[in-house]
């Protein structure tokens, strides 16, 4: 026994290490994915936007680099004076300068207006008007002229590179201590050029690798801190999630997918608002709770803010997106809700962006109309989250509200079979589902989940329906005539048979759990007592009369166990007064508690008292008396 406990403890510790390791590995992968274009220069800025940091001054001298447009224009002007070098071909007349048609097209395409002809190591320039192709020479002079000039490629390339090298890539210097931009200043083209020059100076290899190392270290610490805060939240408020390997992997995978997409977009200089960050709160809310959905979304957005341009604006907009997504999906039971959520998110993004732009700039001209197109495309991608819901359900064996609603359709093939073969069991399951759902709502449990589980909890009775009293319609009970041990075996088998049927029909694991735990490890009391009374001197083996379990581990499982027993017990009452029903409810729940059936559930004393009250009131309402209609006197 001690060895078994040691093995169990060791496995739990190893699982805990794996879960924490998953978060650490996630942090490492994210830092590796981060774009490295801004290793040391940690500012984000755009032309026309205010400078959102403190006043920036130069820590060292650096040159102001020309923009690509400036360099291209100056190169074009410089090359307009350049002349490619040609040599005379031997044994060809030289009175007329003739080049090939291909060379003439290349000269014009490059924008050259002259050529240099090398003769006896002396170069002489000729305007392009004095240079011909064989065809234009014939048209001009009336006789054929062969090509007599050949391009000296090596000399031309060397001279061209030398000429371009003389062009300075910089224009002026910024001295150490010189102010670059004040806090709140609107970034002009000139400011942007100076900031870009400073960024380039920081990224120059000549400054060494120390800044790069510190930058990566800072990114790693930030990511670890944000993930650590999320782990702390799970440990304090949602410890059951932190103990589940699939759940931890699900959280990590969501962050990885969204941040990886953001990194790809940023590497191609596309707008980050194309990425549907709303996937994170939507997917989490579908399978878990609103608080966890928001907290995971905040964590993801904080990590993304490390790498995105204009992080304050980005963070503000995405926080609004997360709050709208969670609020509009308080209980997702229809596919159309995802479309409505996407529309609400689009509206929220539009309003948030417009508001923050007005607040920062104070002018309508600062609004970028392309942003609204990005938001619309993001909304379309948000609707695509439905495919991810289905994929995550299959991969992690989670269950969504949409699937639960589909499973509660009583016209489904499996429930229709139950209604046909075991009509009494079907009616019992319907009543149990109503009782359990009401109790779940009262204590804040998942009412839809427990309703679904209740509909399928006795599905195993399809195999031998007439062995169960609710399907006998007043006839003889064949179990009474059997040996109590054999009768108990048949009754217990409906749990194992139900699990087999559920797996054959691919029911979710969460629903199968209700089938296997709705009797826990309780005794088949009727046949146990009968056997004990018939064999007073025999030591009875209780395992022959106990359900295989396991015990319920969730509030929903406990509610179903109570509702199942109490609904069945209520059918044996001789009177349906509130006092009689309340006594029956108390008796059944107290017996289950005394038997230790709820020892592994998080039910509180208050939960149990609330459940008692709901069961009593519902059973009273379900078994109310109607007035007798008077007969017509003739």
pLDDT digits (tens, 9 = 90+) for 326-375: 988 766 666 678 888 999 999 999 999 999 888 877 778 778 888 999 99
DSSP letters spanning 364-425:
GGG--THHHHHHHHHHHHHHTHHHHHHHHHHHH----HHHHHHHT-TTSHHHHHHHHH-HHH
CA–CA separation, 202 and 336 (whole Å):
50
Tell me the CATH number of domain 403-622, given options 3.30.70, 1.10.3210, 1.10.540, 1.10.287: 1.10.3210
* CA angle (480, 481, 484) in 5-degree steps: 65
Picking from 337, 317, 304, the residue whose alpha carbon sits closest to that of residue 378 is: 317
- CATH 1.10.3210: which residues of the chain? 403-622
Q: Answer yes or no: are the C-beta atoms of 454 and 563 closer than 8 Å.
A: yes
Burial 508-532 (b: 16+ CB within 10 A, else e): bebbbbbbbbbbbbbbbeebbebbe
Pairing of strands 114-119, 122-127: antiparallel
Pairing of strands 97-98, 131-132: parallel
Query: CB count, 10 Å around CB of 14?
Result: 10
Give residue 38's pLDDT.
Answer: 45
**What are the mean pLDDT values of the chain's consecutive 10-residue runs (634 residues total)?**
51 76 94 71 73 78 88 86 89 80 90 88 89 90 87 91 88 88 84 86 60 81 96 92 91 96 88 94 90 96 90 92 89 75 94 89 80 94 87 85 86 92 94 95 92 95 90 79 92 94 92 95 91 89 90 94 93 83 92 93 93 93 64 66
């Amino acid at each position: 026994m001690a060895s078994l406990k040691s093995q169990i403890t060791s496995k739990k510790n190893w699982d805990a290490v794996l879960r924490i390791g998953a978060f650490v590995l996630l942090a490492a992968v994210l830092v590796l994915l981060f774009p490295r274009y801004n290793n040391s220069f940690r500012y984000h800025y755009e032309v026309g936007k205010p400078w959102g940091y403190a006043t920036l001054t130069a820590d060292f001298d650096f040159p102001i680099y020309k923009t690509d447009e400036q360099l291209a224009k100056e190169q074009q002007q410089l090359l307009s004076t350049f002349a490619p070098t040609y040599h005379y071909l031997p044994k060809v007349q030289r009175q007329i300068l003739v080049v090939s048609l291909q060379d003439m097209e290349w000269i014009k395409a490059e924008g050259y207006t002259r050529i240099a002809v090398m003769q006896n190591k002396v170069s002489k320039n000729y305007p392009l008007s004095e240079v011909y192709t064989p065809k234009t020479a014939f048209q001009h002079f009336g006789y054929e002229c062969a090509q007599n000039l050949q391009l000296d490629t090596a000399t031309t390339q060397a001279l061209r590179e030398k000429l371009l090298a003389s062009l300075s890539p910089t224009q002026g210097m910024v001295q150490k201590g010189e102010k670059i931009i004040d806090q709140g200043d609107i970034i002009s083209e000139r400011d942007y050029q100076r900031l870009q020059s400073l960024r380039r100076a920081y990224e120059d290899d000549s400054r060494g690798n120390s800044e790069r190392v510190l930058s990566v270290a800072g990114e790693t610490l930030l990511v670890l801190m944000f993930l650590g805060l999320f782990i702390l939240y799970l440990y304090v408020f949602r410890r059951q999630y932190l103990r589940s390997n699939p759940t931890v992997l699900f959280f990590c995978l969501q962050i990885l997918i969204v941040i990886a997409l953001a990194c790809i977009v940023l590497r191609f200089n596309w707008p980050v608002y194309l990425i549907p960050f709303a996937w994170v709160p939507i997917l989490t809310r579908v399978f878990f709770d609103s608080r966890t959905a928001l907290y995971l979304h905040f964590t993801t957005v904080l990590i993304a803010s490390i790498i995105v341009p204009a992080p304050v604006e980005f963070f503000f907009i995405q926080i609004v997106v997360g709050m709208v997504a969670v609020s509009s999906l308080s209980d997702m039971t229809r596919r159309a809700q995802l479309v409505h959520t996407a529309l609400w998110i689009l509206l929220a993004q539009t309003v948030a962006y417009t508001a923050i732009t007005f607040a920062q700039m104070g002018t309508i001209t600062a609004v970028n109309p392309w942003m609204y197109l990005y938001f619309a495309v993001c909304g379309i991608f948000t609707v695509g989250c439905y495919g991810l819901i289905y994929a995550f359900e299959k991969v992690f064996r989670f269950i969504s509200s949409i699937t639960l609603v589909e499973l509660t359709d009583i016209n489904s093939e499996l429930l229709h079979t139950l209604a046909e073969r075991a009509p009494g069991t079907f009616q019992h399951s319907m009543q149990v589902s109503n009782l359990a759902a009401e109790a779940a709502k009262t204590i804040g449990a998942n009412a839809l989940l427990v309703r679904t589980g209740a509909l399928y909890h006795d599905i195993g009775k399809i195999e031998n329906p007439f062995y169960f009293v609710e399907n006998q319609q007043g006839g003889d009970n064949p179990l009474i005539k059997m040996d109590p041990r054999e009768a108990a075996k048949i009754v217990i088998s409906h749990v194992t048979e139900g699990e087999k049927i559920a797996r054959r029909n691919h029911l979710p694991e969460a629903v199968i759990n209700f089938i296997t735990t709705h009797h826990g490890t309780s005794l088949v009391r009727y046949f146990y007592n009968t056997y004990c009374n018939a064999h007073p001197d025999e030591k009875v083996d209780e395992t022959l009369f106990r359900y295989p379990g396991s015990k319920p581990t969730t509030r929903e499982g406990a509610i179903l166990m109570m509702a199942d027993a109490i609904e069945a017990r209520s059918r044996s009452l001789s009177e349906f007064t509130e006092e009689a029903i309340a006594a029956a409810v108390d008796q059944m729940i107290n017996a289950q508690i005394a038997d230790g059936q709820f020892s592994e559930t998080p039910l509180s004393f208050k939960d149990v008292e609330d459940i008692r009250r709901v069961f009593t009131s519902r059973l009273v309402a379900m078994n109310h008396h109607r007035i007798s209609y008077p007969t017509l006197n003739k």
